[in-house]
Amino acid sequence: MTERYRVIIVGAGPAGIFAALELTRAGVDGVLLLEKGPDLPERQRLGRGGSMLAGWGGAGAYSDGKLALSTEIGGFMDRYCTPGQLTELVEYVDQTYRTVGAPAGLHGSDTEAVAHLQRQAARFDMKLIPSRYRHLGTEGCEELLGKLRAHLSGVVAVRCGTPVAEVIPGSGNGVGGVRLEDGTAIAAEYVILAPGREGSAWLAREAERLALHTTINPVDIGVRVEVPASVLEEITRATYEAKIIYYTRRFEDMVRTFCMCPHGEVIREDLGGLYTVNGHSYAHRKTANTNFALLVSKTFTEPFREPIAYGQHIARLANMLGGEVIVQRLGDLRQGRRSTPGRIGRGLVEPTLREATPGDLSLVLPYRYLADILEMLEALDRLVPGVNSVHTLLYGVEVKFYSLQLQLGPGLETEIPHLFAVGDGAGVSRGLVQASASGVLAARSIAACVKGAGS
Ligand SMILES: Cc1cc2nc3c(=O)[nH]c(=O)nc-3n(C[C@H](O)[C@H](O)[C@H](O)COP(=O)(O)OP(=O)(O)OC[C@H]3O[C@@H](n4cnc5c(N)ncnc54)[C@H](O)[C@@H]3O)c2cc1C
């Protein structure tokens, strides 16, 4: 290996970018950031025609840009830090986004309104988890990640369009570096893996090859719900995004609301030829609708160990029937009939994802998921009248592949010394703030080792 770096970071999403930033702040030099997708200018040129998940900024670049300033939302970092450390990390990450231009305004600060909603939710067997949110908007997110790109250039070596094929073990039991897909080997003392959801299947294969222990996270499968914005106005005004959790009576499964997008748009997500749904909202472009995901969390038990394949299979069924994404009116679903363009046209909610094919989600979702979703909509309707309307639109399917979780130490070090794993791909986070925080935590662990080694 002719090339040698102190630290190699794989993946330039928020986790990888914040790891790079923190290493430079701590004075650690010799950092190389490798990203398989295009750099930001190329990504901007391709726009939505390119990958939504790969490239500078990762999935973060085209995310809805809601920074959840809570230790309870957006990941599992509480497994690796004390509550005090996690609170400090969340504040630290937020401050960093602020220094590159995140807006000052916060949503969810009206504690009295939020407490009122929490009381209401509890009355209907639901738990509302409060959070403060800073909303960058999809366009703001891209802009901030661009500023971070400029900030790092010249300080950290960045190579986009450079997929990493494998981690090279070092002599002894440590890490040696990485091998690129073109066969080039690059040596490093430390490697941080931050491949996000785009690279979660790759990371699963690498974990198996390197004999790293993994546990199975729940797989989240559900639908995206779209209603007139006025229906959710009280909640979105008070909280911007409400995390509401409900346990169904029928199966005792956990169903939760996720990624609420006030006045937003439902979007199609391309997972390498597999189409699922998601949502986002622009800071300045408003629609008449609000959308959110309803996700059923299911942890599979032995002997089944392939939740990613299971989720992909269900998404593929929707693609098979609908071409890509299916949309159905709740009234049609309840009547046991498919939606047609005519029925959607007669509905009171105009779909924001026009390319979705009217169809029948009951032919796609397993009974248990469908029953859970319908029960949750009924429960939610008591808190938010209008959600369970015949006109409500359901898009399918929405799947969250967070299923791999690597066994990690407190500083996010894997069982291989000097090999770290952070962000969504490692099952550590599920959102921008905790993904960024995980990068900071791993970088701080490395900086402490480097200083401890006196070099
Ligand atoms: C449509 C959408 C909306 C969202 N909205 C929000 C929101 O409002 N708020 C929120 O908190 N979160 C949101 N999220 C989630 C958020 O974007 C992610 O939690 C966050 O981006 C995860 O950061 P990450 O760095 O772990 O991974 P990612 O952002 O996924 O980045 C990983 C990077 O690694 C690269 N990579 C993968 N494998 C390799 C390899 N082998 N070699 C080199 N590079 C590789 C990928 O190309 C990618 O660029 C949203 C996500 C989506 C898709």
Indicate if the pLDDT at residue 360 is higher than 90.
yes
In contact, 149 and 40? CB cutoff 8 Å: yes
Residue 389 · residue 378 · CB < 8 Å: no
Q: Residue 90 to residues 78, 86, 232, 297, 444: CA-CA distances in angstroms?
A: 11, 6, 27, 25, 15
The Cα 317–Cα 364 span in angstroms is 6
Helix (H) or strand (E) holding 448: helix 432-452
pLDDT of residue 200: 85
Q: If pLDDT is split at 50, 70 and 90, which confidence band does 454 have?
A: low
The upper half-sphere exposure of residue 412, i.e. CA atoms within 13 Å in the direction of its Cβ, equals: 34
What is the predicted pLDDT for the residue at 142?
Answer: 80
Distance (angstroms) between ligand 1 centre and the Cα of 34 equals: 14
Nearest CA to ligand 1 atom 32: 196
Task: Give the list of residues 6+ apart from residue 313 with CB closer than 8 angstroms, or none.
Answer: none
User: If you take atom 41 of ligand 1, which residue's CA is the nearest one?
Assistant: 164
Q: Which amino acid residue places its CA nearest to atom 17 of ligand 1? A: 60
- What residue spans define the domains of the chain? 3-106+133-214+405-452, 218-400
Q: Which two tokens stand for residue 312?
A: 């992909």
CA of 49 to the centre of ligand 1 (A): 17
CB contact set of 9 (below 8 Å; sequence gap of 6+):
16, 19, 20, 31, 32, 33, 34, 191, 192, 194
Please tell me which residue, 356 or 305, carries the higher pLDDT value.
356
Given a cut of 90, whether residue 385 has pLDDT beyond it is yes
| Angstrom distance (rounded) from CA 139 to CA 64 | 9
Atom number in ligand 1 closest to CA 51: 47
Average pLDDT over residues 137-158: 88
The Å distance, Cα 13 to ligand 1 centre, comes to 5
Dihedral angle sign, alpha carbons of residues 344, 385, 377, 136 = positive
Report the separation in Å between the CA atom of 43 and the middle of ligand 1, taken as the mean of its atom positions: 14
Q: Determine the residue of 424, 430, 436, 440 to mutate for testing ligand 1's pocket, defined as the one with the most ligand atoms within 8 A of the Cβ atom.
A: 424
Q: What is the mean pLDDT of the chain?
A: 92
3-class DSSP string for 227-255: EEHHHHHHHHHHHCCCEEEEECCCCCCEE
| CATH superfamily of the domain spanning 3-106+133-214+405-452 | FAD/NAD(P)-binding domain (3.50.50.60)
State the closest ligand 1 atom to the C-alpha of 267, by its place in the atom list counted from 1. Answer: 1
pLDDT > 70? residue 402 = no
Q: Which of 146-150, 325-329, 386-390 has the lowest mean pLDDT?
A: 146-150
Which one is predicted more confidently, 51 or 159? Answer: 159
Lowest mean pLDDT of 129-133, 183-187, 274-278, name the range.
129-133
Q: Could you tell me the pTM of the whole model?
A: 0.84
Ligand 1 centroid to residue 271 C-alpha, Å = 12
What is the model's pLDDT at position 16?
98
Nearest CA to ligand 1 atom 1: 63
The pocket around ligand 1, CB under 6 angstroms, is made up of 10-16, 34-37, 52-55, 58-60, 62-66, 68, 74, 163-164, 194-199, 202, 259, 278, 280, 423-425, 429-433, 435
pLDDT digits (tens, 9 = 90+) for 207-221: 999 999 988 777 899
Ligand 1, residues 9, 10, 64: which to mutate, most atoms within 8 A of Cβ? 64
DSSP string, 340-379: -HHHHHHSSS--S-TTPEE--GGGTS-HHHHHHHHHHHHH
Instruction: State the pLDDT confidence band at 109, using cuts at 50, 70 and 90.
Output: confident
**Protein residue closest via CA to atom 51 of ligand 1:** 63
CA–centroid distance, 58 to ligand 1, in Å, is 4
Nearest residue to 391 via CA among 355, 345, 353: 345
CA 230 – ligand 1 centroid, Å? 30
Given a cut of 80, whether residue 182 has pLDDT beyond it is yes
| Structure-token pair, residue 76 | 């599992």
- 197 Cα–ligand 1 center, Å: 6
Name the residue of 198, 263, 401 to mutate for ligand 1: max ligand atoms within 8 A of Cβ.
Answer: 198
Q: How far, in Å, from the CA of 53 to the mean position of ligand 1?
A: 6
pLDDT at 397 over 90: yes
pLDDT the model gives residue 302? 73
- DSSP E strands in 146-253: the ranges are 157-159, 164-169, 175-180, 185-193, 214-216, 219-228, 243-247
d(C-alpha 425, C-alpha 36), whole Å: 14
**CA of 60 relative to ligand 1 center, distance in Å:** 5
Average pLDDT for 102-111: 86
